[in-house]
Structure 1
Amino acid sequence: MPALTNAIPGPRGLPVLGVGNRLLNDPLEFMVRLQRHYGDLVQLPLGKHTMYLATHPDMVKRITQENWKNYIKRYPTMDEILGQGLVTSNGEYWLRQRRLMQPAFHHQRITRMADVMVEETERMLARWEGYARSHRPFEVQEEMMLLTQQIIVRTMFGTSLSDAEAHTIGKAFNDSLNWVAGQQFRIFQPPRSWPTPGNLAYRRNLELLERTVYRLINERRQRPGEHDDLLEMLVTARDADTGEQMSPKQIRDEVMTIFLAGHETTAGTLSWIIHLLTHHGDTERKLRSEYASVLGGRNPTPNDLPRLPYNRMVIDETLRLYPPTWILTRVLINPDTLGNYQLPAGATVALSPYVTHRHPAFWPNAESFDPERFRREEAESRHKFAYIPFLSGPRQCIGNNFALTEMQIVLPMILQRFQISAVPGYPVQPQPKATLRPGPKVWVEVRG
C-alpha cells in the first residue's frame, strides 16, 4: 500500500480564478473528466480556496457513515430561508430534530399520504385529457412541478389552505428556494439588502411564506388534534428525553426544508423518466406489460409496489443517471484520511453522486440507460456506496421513502392512461442548477 501523502493530484487552473470558471461553465462533464484523469480524490483550486472532490464509494462511506460526525454541513446562502432545518443543521441539534421528525415519515404515515398522491395525479391527468383531445404539446416539467407542489402542500398543510392559497404558497416556496439556490452559482452576488428586482421578489415571497406558516402553527397550537398532516406532526412532536416541543421557529425551518427536499427533486426525476421513456421504447413496453399484469388498468396502492419491480428499477436507473442532488459539500472539523491522502481540518470536501454513479469500476457503460442494472442479484453484489441518490449513512434524506412511493405511484398512473411522445427539435441536456433537471424544456405530446 502506498504511503499516506498530502500531495493530492489536480489541475492547476488560472491565476485568481483557479478552475472556478470551468466548474461554473460545465460542472458535470468537467468533474467526470477530473475523476477519469486524476483519480478518486482531486484537488480543485478555487481562487483563494481549495475544494477536494471525492468520488470513490469507499470515500463516500468514510464521509457519510464511518466518520460522518467529522464532516459538517455549511450552506450560508441557504441559512436565511432554511434556517436550522435538517438539511443545514449539525451536531446534537440536528440529531434532536431528526429524532423528532422521524415519526412523520414512518412507513404507515407515507401509506396514508398515498391517497393524496393518487388524487393529485388524477387531477393532473384530467388536465392532460384536454391536451390529448386538442393535440396540444406541453412542457412536462411544468406539469410535474405543479403535481409535486400540490402533493407536498396538501400532505404538509392538509385542508388548512384553499386550492388558491395552496397554489400561491407552492409558487412562493418554489420561487424562493430556486432563487436562493441560484445565488450559489453566481460569481457576483449583490447583498440581499439591495433593492434589486430579484431581492425584492424574494423578500415578498419569504414574508408571505412566514406569515402563512406562523399563522398555521398558531392555529394548530390552539386547536391540536384536528388535522392529520405533516404540520400537525411537527407541532405535536415531543422530545422523548425532555418532553419539549419544537419552537415555532424550529417548525418553520423544517417546513421550509421538507418543501425543498420533497418537491423539486421529485418533479425533476419524474421529468427525466418521461424523457427517457420517449427514447427507450423497449423499456416503456416492459413497464406497460408489468402494469397490465399486476394492475390491469387500476390505480396502484402502496401494497402493489413490491409487485412492480421493473417500475422501481426504471426509477432507480433514472436516479443513477440524473441524481437530483448532483453535488454537495462537507467541511472537515478534524484532519482525516481518504484513500492514501491526508486532508487538513477545515478542508471542504465535495461529493458528487453524478460522478460516483458513473465510476467505471462499478458501472460498465455508465452513460447508457439500463434498468436491468438494478436486478436484485446485480444490485446486491455492487458496492453499497456506489449508488447514493439520497446520500447514505445517518444523514440520508429523511424523505427518501416518501419520494420513492410518490414516483412509484405516479408513473404507472400516467402510462396506463396515455401514450407519450417527445416533440422533435427540442434537445434535452442536464441542467446543473439547484437540482439536476432536464432542460431547457421537455416538450411532449400525449394521446389516450
Structure 2
Amino acid sequence: MTGVDSVPARVLPRGGPPRRPPGPSRVSTPVLLARMASDRLAVMTEAAATYGDAARLPLGPKTLYFFNHPDHIRRVLTDNSANYHKGIGLVHARRALGNGLLTSEGTLWRAQRKVIQPAFQARRITRQIGAIGEEALLLADRLRLSAGAGAVDIRQEMTGLTLGVLGRSLLDADLGAYESIGEAFEIVQDQAVFEMMSLSSVPTWVPLPLQLRFRKARAELNRIVAALAREREQHPAADGTRDDVLSRLIDATAGERDPAVRQDRMRDELITLLLAGHDTTASTLNWTLYLLDRHPEVGDRVRAEVDEVLGDRLPAIEDFHRLTYTSMVLQEVMRLYPAVWLLPRKALAADEIGGYRVPAGADVVLCPYTLHRHPDFWEDPDRFDPERFAKGRSAGRHRYSYVPFGAGPRVCVGSSLGTLEATVVLAVLLRRLRLSVPPGHKVQAEPMLTLRIKGGLPMNVESRN
C-alpha cells in the first residue's frame, strides 16, 4: 500500500501541533474500495504494517481515520467516548438491523441498555450454566450420531446451539420451535454488510436478489417476534417475577400506543440481541475447534483438564473457575480471531489522538483484529499460544492491547454470558468428541458483522467413548 504522506511503521509524532495521519493518496481510492469489498482484513493489516499506528484511508466520499495503538483505543472508547458515536457501517446497517442496542445512540441507547442490563447481572448469568451444559450435551449426542458418516458443518451446528442457549438463558423461550430463525439471521447479516459496504446508496425497493431475500427474512423475524411476545403475554409467570429480556421488553414497550411501533421496537431489540449474542459466541467456538485441530497438543491438554475437572458430569459454576487452561485457550482464540473485528466510530467534535488531528465528523475505525496482532505488544503475534494468558506472562500488558468485547461505556453487555457459554460448550464437546477438518479443506476468515469462517466449517466427528 503506497502513496503520499507515508511514514515508517510504528513512528508516532512526539510534541508539536497535531498533524494529519499518513496514508495513500486519493488516486488510490478505486483500488482501495475494490479491495475493501473483497479482502477487508488484508486492507487493515497492510495499513497497519505500512503506515504504523495511524492512517488515513480514502474511500470515495469517505475518509477513514484508522487508529491501532492501545492508547488510541483508550482515547476513543473510554477517555473521550462521549465524542464518538457509532460510525460508518453500523449507521448504515440500521436499515437492516433497525434501531436496537447495537446501532442506537444517546438517550435511546441509555434507555435500551437500562432495560436489558439486569438480564446480564452476574447472579442471573451463573444460574444459566445448567441450561448451557444441557444444550451442549444435546449437540454432542447429535454429533455422535454422525461419527464416521462424513463431515458435519460445525458452523451451522454452532449457530443452532448458541441460538438455543440464548433462547433459554435470555428469553426463557424455546427458539428451536422456529426452524427458520438461523437462516433469517444469516440473510439479515448479509444485508447489513451490503448496507455498510454500499453506504446505503442502493434504495431498498431495488429488486436485487439479496434485498428480496432480506425482505422475506425480515418478515419472518417479525412473525417470530410477534409469536414470542404473544406467547409470553398469554402465559406470564404466576408470581409475576420473570426477569428475562423478553418479559422486560414487553413491560418497557407496554405504554406504546401504536401497536406497529411497539412491534418494531421489540423486533429491533430482539434481532440485535440475538444476532450479536449468538453469532459472536458461535464464531469464537468455530475458530476454537479449528485451531485445536491445527494444534493437537493444545487440544489434548484441554481434554486432559476437562477430564480431570469434570469427569463425566456437566459443568457447575465452581468448575468454570477451575478450567484455567481452557479459559486461556479461548482468550487466545479471541485474540487471533476476535468476533467483533472492527469498531467504527464518528467524531462529533474535532479531537487529537496520539498527536494526530481528527476533524469533526471524521469516520474513525479501530480494528481489534490488527490491534491483537500488534508486534509491539504481542511477541510473535501470529502464533497460536494460549500461554500468553498465563498469570505470569499477562502481567503488565497494556490494558487496551486486548479488547475482544470492546471497552468503555459501550463494552459488550453480554461478555460474561458469552465467556461462560464458550467455556462450558467447549468442555462438554471435547470431553466426548474429537473433531477434525477434512484433509485439504482450506479455512478462510470472512469479516462480516462478526469474523466468521467463510462457507461453513466441515469437520469429521470421532467419539471419545
| TM norm structure 2 | 0.88
| Equivalence for 1:391 | 406
Write the mapping of 1:383-422 to structure 2, written as runs, cut at 5 A.
Answer: 383-422=398-437
Query: Which of 251-260 and 5-14 deviates more?
Result: 5-14
**What whole-Å deviation, never above 9, does each CA across 1:143-166 have from its counterpart, x for those lacking one?**
1122112222333443466x4x32
Query: Which of 47-56 and 10-19 deviates more?
Result: 10-19
Q: Counterpart amino acid of 1:136?
A: G
Evaluate the alpha carbon distance shift between residue 261 and residue 235 of structure 1 in structure 2; reply closer, same or farther with a 3 A threshold: same
Paired with 1:33 and 1:46, the residues of 2 have a C-alpha distance of 15
Check if 1:91 corresponds to 2:106: yes
Paired with 1:175 and 1:39, the residues of 2 have a C-alpha distance of 36
**What whole-Å deviation, never above 9, does each CA across 1:326-379 have from its counterpart, x for those lacking one?**
112100011111001111100000010001001111011000000011112322
Check if 1:137 corresponds to 2:151: yes
Write the mapping of 1:104-143 to structure 2, written as runs, cut at 5 A.
Answer: 104-132=119-147, 134-143=148-157
Q: Counterpart amino acid of 1:40?
A: D
Evaluate the alpha carbon distance shift between residue 422 and residue 62 of structure 1 in structure 2; reply closer, same or farther with a 3 A threshold: same
Check if 1:155 corresponds to 2:175: no
Aligned with 2:128: secondary structure?
helix
Paired with 1:334 and 1:7, the residues of 2 have a C-alpha distance of 16
Write the mapping of 1:226-237 to structure 2, written as runs, cut at 5 A.
Answer: 229-236=244-251
Check if 1:212 corresponds to 2:224: yes
Aligned with 2:127: secondary structure?
helix
Paired with 1:201 and 1:48, the residues of 2 have a C-alpha distance of 29
Check if 1:266 corresponds to 2:281: yes
Aligned with 2:436: secondary structure?
strand
2:156–2:456 Cα contact (<8 Å) kept: no
Q: Counterpart amino acid of 1:148?
A: T
| TM norm structure 1 | 0.91
| Equivalence for 1:43 | 56
Query: Which of 436-445 and 287-296 deviates more?
Result: 436-445
Point out where structure 1 has 5 or more consecutive residues left out of the alignment.
Answer: 240-245
1:320–1:357 Cα contact (<8 Å) kept: yes
Evaluate the alpha carbon distance shift between residue 22 and residue 201 of structure 1 in structure 2; reply closer, same or farther with a 3 A threshold: closer
Q: Counterpart amino acid of 1:208?
A: E
| Aligned-pair CA distance for 1:114 | 2.4
Paired with 1:100 and 1:152, the residues of 2 have a C-alpha distance of 17
Paired with 1:212 and 1:281, the residues of 2 have a C-alpha distance of 41
Evaluate the alpha carbon distance shift between residue 310 and residue 119 of structure 1 in structure 2; reply closer, same or farther with a 3 A threshold: same
| Equivalence for 1:423 | 438
Q: Counterpart amino acid of 1:305?
A: F
Percent pairwise identity: 36
Write the mapping of 1:31-430 to structure 2, written as runs, cut at 5 A.
Answer: 31-74=44-87, 75-132=90-147, 134-159=148-173, 163=176, 165-185=177-197, 190-221=202-233, 224-225=236-237, 229-236=244-251, 248-430=263-445
Aligned with 2:321: secondary structure?
helix
Paired with 1:156 and 1:54, the residues of 2 have a C-alpha distance of 35
Paired with 1:9 and 1:340, the residues of 2 have a C-alpha distance of 12
| Equivalence for 1:14 | 27
Evaluate the alpha carbon distance shift between residue 15 and residue 228 of structure 1 in structure 2; reply closer, same or farther with a 3 A threshold: closer
Q: Counterpart amino acid of 2:132?
A: M
**What whole-Å deviation, never above 9, does each CA across 1:42-64 have from its counterpart, x for those lacking one?**
01111122111111000000000
Paired with 2:21 and 2:354, the residues of 1 have a C-alpha distance of 11
Q: Counterpart amino acid of 1:66?
A: D
2:95–2:192 Cα contact (<8 Å) kept: no
1:128–1:446 Cα contact (<8 Å) kept: yes
Paired with 1:187 and 1:342, the residues of 2 have a C-alpha distance of 25
Evaluate the alpha carbon distance shift between residue 169 and residue 153 of structure 1 in structure 2; reply closer, same or farther with a 3 A threshold: farther
| Aligned-pair CA distance for 1:202 | 1.3
**What whole-Å deviation, never above 9, does each CA across 1:12-61 have from its counterpart, x for those lacking one?**
25355262223333222232222122111101111122111111000000
| Equivalence for 1:243 | none
Aligned with 1:45: secondary structure?
strand
Q: Counterpart amino acid of 2:152?
A: F
Paired with 1:167 and 1:430, the residues of 2 have a C-alpha distance of 26
| Aligned-pair CA distance for 1:437 | 1.5
Paired with 1:447 and 1:295, the residues of 2 have a C-alpha distance of 20
Check if 1:23 corresponds to 2:40: no
Paired with 1:102 and 1:444, the residues of 2 have a C-alpha distance of 36
1:158–1:228 Cα contact (<8 Å) kept: no
